Amino acid sequence: MKVTLYSAQPYDERFFEEARLEGFAEEPFELIYQKVTLTHQTTALAEGSDAVCVFVNDVLDERVLEALAGMGVKAIVLRCAGFNNIDLAAAERLGFFVARVPAYSPEAVAEHALALAMTLNRHTHRAFNRVREGNFALDGLLGVTLQGKTVGIVGTGRIGLATARIFKGLGCRVLGSDPFPAEDFKAIGEIVEVDTLLAQSDIVSLHCPLTQATHHLINEASLERMKPGAMLINTSRGALIDTCAVIEALKSRQLGALAIDVYEQESGLFFKDRSSEIIDDDVFSRLMTFPNVLVTGHQGFFTVEALREIAQVTFNNLLCLARGAHCDNALMRGDGASR
C-alpha cells in the first residue's frame, strides 16, 4: 500500500519510520513524505497512491476529494482528532475510507494549556528576556496565586478532563460546560451552563471540537459575559474564537489575557519558519502587539508520547483498511457508509 503523507515535517518522518520498523515492518506499506500542504494544486503528488495521510491544515474539500478519487486514491487517514477540514458528505459520496486518531496523549495538550496559563500569569516569558539583558526589576511581573481561583473548562472530553484534573490539583475550583458532559467530570468539578461558566471563571480554557454550533463560540457577546479581567486559553481549534472580537475585548480591558496555540487563519502561518518573511496577516500582527497575549504555533500535541501514538494508530487504521477489518476509528468505511 502506497501512502502519501502531506504536510510532513522531519519529526513526522522520524516517528512514522520508527513505528513502521518497530511494529509494521512486515506490512507492505510504502510511505512518501511531502512537505507541502494538500490543496487542489498539490493533489498530483498523490498520483499512484492508495491513500493520503493528512494533518489539520490540509484541505480536503469536494474539489480536492474528486481529484484524489480520479487518481485512484481510496483512503484518507488523518493523523489528528479533528476532521472539520474534510467534506464528509463528498467523501461518503465518493466512497472513501476515512479514519482519524481520535485521541493521542490528552495530557500533552492539557499540560500545554497549563503552561500557557502559568506563563501568562507569572510573566515568565517576559522575565526570561529581562534577566538575559541584566534587568532584574520586578515591576510589571505581578501575578496571582492560582489556588482558589475558578477555572472553566469548555468541553469535557479526554483533553478537557485531563486539564480539569490538573487545575483541580492546583487547588482551583473547576467548572465544566458541555452539551454531553463526561460522567467522570462530576468527581472533579461542577457542570454548569456556558454563560454561568463565563461569568464565574478567572480562567476559561477551550477544549471542544469545531462544529457549526461552536464556530466563534467566543465572540463579542460571549466576551461581554466573561468575568472582567479573565484569562482565555485556546488549545483546541482556532475558529472557536472570533479574533477581531477578542482584540476589541483586550483593548477595552474586558479580557485580561489571552493564550492561543491555534489560530483561525493558521494554515498560512504555522509549521514553517517565517522569521525572514513579512507577516501580511494584519489581524495576527495586531494580536502580537499586546503584552498580555501569548501565542504558540500549534505545539500542544508536540510530545514524544503523542507523536508515537499518532504514528501507531495511523498504521493500525491503514492495517484495518488493508485487511478489510473493522476499524474503530473510521469515519467512513469506504463502502459509501459512515461508521
Q: What is the pLDDT of residues 46-67, one digit of tens each?
A: 999 999 999 999 999 999 999 9
In a shared domain, residues 224 and 283: yes
CB 258 within 8 A of CB 246: yes
How far lies 30's CA from each of 23, 188, 292, in Å? 14, 45, 46
pLDDT of 338: 55
Mean pLDDT estimate for the chain: 95
Contact yes or no for 94/66 (Cβ under 8 A): yes
* pLDDT tens by residue, 225-282: 999 999 999 999 999 999 999 999 999 999 999 999 999 999 889 998 999 999 999 9
pLDDT at 336 exceeding the cut of 60: no
pLDDT tens profile 137-175: 999 999 999 999 999 999 999 999 999 999 999 999 999
Q: Could you tell me if 146 and 94 lie in one domain?
A: no
Q: Give the domain range for residue 321.
A: 2-104+304-332
Supply the CATH number for residue 321's domain.
Answer: 3.40.50.720
Q: Is there a catalytic annotation at residue 173?
A: no
Q: What is the pLDDT of residue 175?
A: 98
Considering 237, 264, 309, 333, which one is annotated as catalytic? 237
Cell 480562567, residue?
203
Instruction: Verify that 13 and 80 share a domain, yes or no.
Output: yes
Let me know whether 99 and 111 are in one domain. Answer: no
Q: Give pLDDT, residue 103.
A: 82
Considering the domain boundaries, does residue 17 fall inside one?
yes
Residue 201 above 90 pLDDT? Answer: yes
Q: Are residues 175 and 285 in the same domain?
A: yes
Same domain membership, residue 129 and residue 277: yes
CA distances to 156, 166, 270 from 305, rounded to whole Å, are 22, 18, 22
From 158, 266, 309, 333, the catalytic residue: 266
Arithmetic mean of pLDDT, 108-117 = 97
Query: Does residue 54 share a domain with residue 33?
Result: yes
Residues 123 and 80 in one domain: no
Spell out a b/e string for 240-271, using b for 16 or more CB atoms within 10 Å of the CB, else e.
Answer: bbbbebbbebbeeebbbbbbbbbbbebbebbb
Q: What is the pLDDT of residue 84?
A: 87
Whether 118 is in a domain gets the answer yes
Q: Is it the case that residue 337 has pLDDT exceeding 80?
A: no
Q: Which strand ranges, in their side-by-side order, compose the sheet holding 51-54? A: 30-33, 2-5, 51-54, 75-78, 97-99, 330-333
Whether 62 sits among the annotated catalytic residues: the reply is no
Is 196 in the same domain as 100? no
Q: Are residues 239 and 131 part of one domain?
A: yes
Residues 292-314: what's their mean pLDDT?
Answer: 96
Closest by CA position to 209, among listed 260, 156, 270: 156
Task: Answer whether residue 119 is part of any domain.
Answer: yes
Total domains present in the chain: 2
Q: What pLDDT is attached to residue 105?
A: 86
Residue 335 above 70 pLDDT?
no
pLDDT at 339: 55
- Same domain flag for 49 and 90: yes
